[in-house]
Structure 1
């Protein structure tokens, strides 16, 4: 399954394979660490520990299929020692392919999946691709169903009103009635993000601590496939 995550520059996505046992290098914390930010309602917090530092994400209650699937994978240790296998500075960092765990540097990764079906799309008009959101990668299926394991964290860039007007018109190709709210525009103009992905991929969480780690990972040297030259590995655990 080739996963699709389109950019304005037409960046391709991913492909996969596996071999060699890795030696994970991540910043660890204790499994009973206190949440960096108290969750609202029943929102769950997950710590993602990476080679370059740790970040905490909260999972949205409004996307329960993606939330529950992600929790299940985290609890099972599925993500431990996997790579962030695709990074593009100014765009996003992507990981979660199980074939990346033992892949050597010559292999192209990105087509792997967990056992089971895709996750049905949970695309909401109020969930948008601001910097720091957690979203699901997917292939080019017409239902926009998500990969059952691969995800990306948005870096993006700050935009102005002219750029946002252009993006809004583009997003209307997926949702003709879609219009950015003033609050959404303000976020894109101050924090930034990737609005050209809106209404096309499921956003199901956001970083609440350690957002600078996205910048650090995205800035690492990469090859022509957008794979980091030095492995960037992850481990995850639930904080609540």
Structure 2
């Protein structure tokens, strides 16, 4: 009788072990799942971390200098001929046509758009009845992107056919720039003064115009700003190349 009980007990143990092994095979392996997520293709734009942390990946960005700027942009232009970009904001979307004549400014803007630089910035200056300005922020990640993209200025490309009319787009100058009319590569402005801002002509390069959604730009120009013309509530932008 004892021998029979022992035999049944052994059979039960073997059955339990086999069942446990089969059950473990039916469950997904958490390590293999994590590997699949990590191996996904990276999107071409920089992925901006929430809150403006410093851990934005800039490893794929080539750093330009004043000496390498023009040759690089002229080479970049060959495979990047686009002239239409779309700017998305919480007030709506608008489109900008970039002029071919101001080639360095256009190509630089397209490059920064494709790198995702502008997606990490705000419309940081609002002067109602004059201009709205974008391309900067107070986030550490923005400064990290700027440092990686390069410390350079874009030579002035003044064109008498493209002046500071209502709805036209120009590049700002660094506040420290007193020697020439070269442009900042990072900050652009849109004229909202109905009769234009022609006192800016020649000193600032106009390189595009809003072709759709100027009512959205007008809404941005009416937001409340502090004494430094920085909007009380940040206006994030998402800029994409259309064609």
TM-score range, shorter chain: 0.5 to 0.7
Aligned to 1:187: none
| Unaligned ranges ≥5, structure 2 | 1-49, 53-80
- Secondary structure of 1:96's match? strand
- Secondary structure of 2:86's match? strand
Q: Residue 136 in 1 paired to residue 206 in 2?
A: no
**Relative contact order, higher structure (CA 8 A, sep 6+):** 1
Q: Deviations over 1:108-167 (max 9, x none)?
A: x9xx7752311111011111111111100003332211001111111013xxxxxxxxxx
**Which one of 189, 192, 202 corresponds to residue 155 of structure 1?**
192
Which structure shows the higher helix fraction? 2
Q: 8 Å contact 2:153–2:183 — kept in the other structure?
A: yes
Q: Residue 219 in 1 paired to residue 222 in 2?
A: yes
Per-residue deviation at 1:92?
0.6
- Secondary structure of 2:97's match? strand
Q: 8 Å contact 1:54–1:210 — kept in the other structure?
A: yes
Matches of 1:193 and 1:79, distance apart in 2? 25
| Unaligned ranges ≥5, structure 1 | 1-19, 23-41, 104-108, 158-191
Matches of 1:81 and 1:54, distance apart in 2? 17
Q: Deviations over 1:192-236 (max 9, x none)?
A: 211111111000000000011111001001111111111111011
Aligned to 1:69: 108
Q: 8 Å contact 2:82–2:241 — kept in the other structure?
A: no
- Secondary structure of 2:101's match? coil
Matches of 1:129 and 1:143, distance apart in 2? 18
**Which one of 204, 207, 223 corresponds to residue 201 of structure 1?**
204
Q: Residue 85 in 1 paired to residue 115 in 2?
A: no
Q: 8 Å contact 1:138–1:201 — kept in the other structure?
A: yes
Please identify the structure whose Cα radius of gyration is greater: 2
**Which one of 96, 118, 131 corresponds to residue 153 of structure 2?**
118
Per-residue deviation at 1:43?
6.0
- Secondary structure of 1:65's match? helix
**TM-score, length-scaled by structure 2:** 0.62
- Secondary structure of 2:95's match? strand
Question: How many corresponding residue pairs?
Answer: 161
